Amino acid sequence: MCLGALAVLLPLSSQAESLPLHLLNLPPGFSITVFAHVPNARQMTRSPGGIVYVGSRGAGKVHAVIDRDGDFIADDVVLVDDGLNLPSGVTMRANDLYVGAVDRILRYADIDSQYSTSPDPEVVIDTLPDKRHHGWKFIEFGPDGYLYIPVGAPCNLCLSENPVFASISRIKLDSKPARIEVFASGVRNSVGFDWHPLTGELWFTDNGRDMMGDDIPPGELNHAPSPAMHFGYPFFHANSLTDPEFGAGRQSSAYFEPALALGPHVAPLGMMFYTGKSFPAAYMNQIIIAEHGSWNRSPQAGHTGYRLTLALQQSNGSLRYATFIDGWLQDNVAWGRPVDVLQLPDGSILVSDDHASVIYRVSYNGGNTN
């Protein structure tokens, strides 16, 4: 629990000048600026009052980001709480802030009225697994009213007897006590999901296993239109790739393939369907993915990810994988790592970066968006 509110220490202009934004490659008409400096920024959410709340992972903190004059440059970054256990995930329901901190979900009631007063949270549920390996959360309320909570595998590769591991699960907060139920299985470590704005169906990213080679397995973008689907882990990976330890004697046809195989080890995290009107019309209802970047490829192979990508719906129903923004990786060394994406009411998007400890704003100023 934090002992008091803490505003950002350096003027935003000083922080922004130290970041090489000129190295980023954007499509014509797009621009990127610094919205706020937030230590170890991970998932973001926005309250009805316009305050952006940000969770961290290693920093153990939750911050409130306030843009009082609406110029898309934060006026204050205030510490809401600290000393938490990997509080990566944050989301809003009405006026209440929910924070995912490994084995528990915390609720900060009417957060906009008390973010600066070190509020004491209510523990919503504290029976989630306490394993820190893949234990950090991305949380979000679905259109069905459930709070969706991924629980990553507690390892690189293993088969746990507890079915909640390697899943996307959900809880109905209105039931007492709150009970967790598995929605999708065989999901190694999802740190981002969203629901299609037209169908209401769940889509999510998933991180493939490590130590299988430089170029396999791919990262995954998955589609779960209904409950009880199994996406293969640890038996199979994307493209029906049989796991050498757990796949023997099993049929890949028993599991669901990803909707789109991404690059190897790109570490896809946050994703969202773009529904704003300020980007060109071709972006409407398309998926934007934050690729955090590889860590376990050989120096000869080079890193992958460290960019924003697009999953674009084609006329035949297939998805096309394309780069949206890159340049955080220079000469195989990263100066930034995108984590999450959040759309603002004006149609621009925020992008969190836990490596550079910053939140960017991406906007389009290229004229006609039709």
Which sequence spans correspond to the domains of the chain? 12-364
Would you identify the CATH topology of the domain 12-364? Neuraminidase (2.120.10)
pTM: 0.95
Kindly calculate the radius of gyration of the chain based on its CA atoms and give it in whole angstroms: 20
pLDDT value of residue 162: 97
| Beta-carbon contacts of residue 173 (< 8 Å; ≥ 6 apart) | 93, 124, 147
> How high is the pLDDT of residue 369?
65
Which residues partner with 194 through β-bridges?
Answer: 203
Predicted pLDDT of residue 125:
94
Strand order through the sheet with 268-273: 268-273, 287-291, 307-313, 319-325
Single-letter code of the amino acid located at 183: F
Please say whether the beta carbons of 334 and 354 come within 8 A: no
Q: Which residues have C-beta within 8 Å of that of residue 139, sequence separation ≥ 6?
A: 43, 89, 90, 91, 98, 99, 100, 105, 147, 148, 149
Chain position carrying tokens 């028993």 = 254
User: 193-209 burial, b if ≥16 CB within 10 A, otherwise e?
Assistant: bbbbeeeeebbbbbbbb
Q: What is the pLDDT of residue 9?
A: 37
Q: Which long-range contacts (CB under 8 A, 24 or more apart) does 119-127 make?
A: 119/80, 119/81, 120/1, 121/81, 124/98, 124/173, 124/178, 125/171, 125/177, 125/178, 125/180, 127/103, 127/180
Written as tens digits, the pLDDT of the chain (370 aa) is: 443 343 333 445 445 568 999 999 999 999 999 999 999 999 999 999 999 999 999 999 999 999 999 999 999 999 999 999 999 999 999 999 999 999 999 999 999 999 999 899 999 999 999 999 999 999 999 999 999 999 999 999 999 999 999 999 999 998 888 889 999 999 999 999 999 999 999 999 999 999 999 999 999 999 999 999 999 999 999 999 999 999 999 999 999 999 999 999 999 999 999 999 999 999 999 999 999 999 999 999 999 999 999 999 999 999 999 999 999 999 999 999 999 999 999 999 999 999 999 999 999 998 776 6
Note whether 67 and 75 are within 8 A (CB): yes
Q: How far is CA 209 from CA 154, 156, 310, in A?
A: 12, 6, 22
Q: What are the backbone angles phi and psi of residue 215, rounded to the nearest 5°?
A: -115, 5
- Do 269 and 291 form a contact (C-beta atoms < 8 A)? yes
Question: CB within 8 A of 322, min separation 6: which ones?
Answer: 309, 310, 312
pLDDT digits (tens, 9 = 90+) for 282-293: 999 999 999 999
CA distance 323 to 340: 16
Distance of CA 259 to the CA centre of its chain: 18
